[in-house]
Amino acid sequence: MSDLATLPKNGGLANKKTLSGFPSLSNWFDDFSMGEFPSLFSSNFNTGMSTPKVNIKEEADAFIVEMAVPGLKKSDFNINLDNNTLSISAELKENNEEKDEGYTRREFGYSSFKRIFTLPETVEDSKINAKYNEGILNIHLPKKEEAKQKPARSIKVS
């Protein structure tokens, strides 16, 4: 298993090629963060939602994207694949109303995020799956058979 990839300030990873001719994690992962929806008010009823951070791991047979998004439900996520573009988004609308002895108090809030990633052609897009557990969204991006890392082996000289 490789180390986690980290995103520098500009949102891209360092560019490098692998020996097999397939793009490495570094040169396929273009992240176009759509930014956070800014909090319009400083009061506590509109908390906003910052752009979630991601960890990306490259394993021998897959790429794993882990996104920290606590406080959401599975149904809050919208994950789409269009050609080689993976988009992950969530949108929350909150509307609270209290009625008490002659007055009505209404507070509402809106928050959202959207992350977009360009996937390499080595990802088997028909087998992508996502799971959400304890505030972490995990997206499993399996590699095509020809892109999987082969184990080292000895070759006999005849």
Q: What share of the chain is helix, strand, coil (3-state, %, to 5)?
A: 10, 45, 45
- pLDDT band of 102, cuts 50, 70, 90: confident
| Cα distance between residue 126 and residue 111, in whole Å | 31
| Cα distance between residue 113 and residue 142, in whole Å | 25
pLDDT of 88 reads 95
- Region 70-76: mean pLDDT is 90
pTM, two decimals, is 0.61
pLDDT of 8 reads 42
Residue 152, domain member (yes or no): no
**Under a CB-based contact definition with an 8 Å cutoff, are residues 63 and 141 in contact?**
yes
Residue 85, domain member (yes or no): yes
| Cα distance between residue 30 and residue 15, in whole Å | 11
Residue 17, domain member (yes or no): no
Our count of domains for the chain comes to 1
pLDDT of 105 reads 77
Q: Is the pLDDT of residue 4 over 60?
A: no
Q: Is the pLDDT of residue 67 over 50?
A: yes
Q: Is the pLDDT of residue 5 over 50?
A: no
| Cα distance between residue 95 and residue 118, in whole Å | 35
What residue numbers bound the domain in which 96 lies?
25-147
Residue 10, domain member (yes or no): no
Task: Tell me the per-residue pLDDT of 48-58, one tens digit each, with 9 for 90 and over.
Answer: 567 899 999 99
Task: Tell me the per-residue pLDDT of 13-23, one tens digit each, with 9 for 90 and over.
Answer: 443 444 444 55
DSSP reduced 3-state for 111: strand
Measured CA distances, 66 to 6, 36, 58, 70, 130 (Å) = 12, 18, 12, 12, 10
Residue 103, domain member (yes or no): yes
Between these two residues, 129 and 104, which has the higher pLDDT value?
129
Task: Tell me the per-residue pLDDT of 112-147, one tens digit each, with 9 for 90 and over.
Answer: 899 999 999 999 999 999 999 999 999 999 999 888
Q: Could you tell me the CATH number of the domain that includes residue 80?
A: 2.60.40.790
- pLDDT band of 68, cuts 50, 70, 90: very high
| Cα distance between residue 92 and residue 130, in whole Å | 20
Q: Is the pLDDT of residue 91 over 50?
A: yes
Helices within the chain (DSSP H only): 25-28
Residue 1, domain member (yes or no): no
Give which of 69, 62, 82 is closest to 36, Cα–Cα.
Answer: 69
Residue 92, domain member (yes or no): yes
Give which of 150, 141, 130 is closest to 28, Cα–Cα.
Answer: 141
Give which of 70, 44, 54, 43 is closest to 5, Cα–Cα.
Answer: 54
Question: What residue has token string 């490789």?
Answer: 2
Residue 8, domain member (yes or no): no
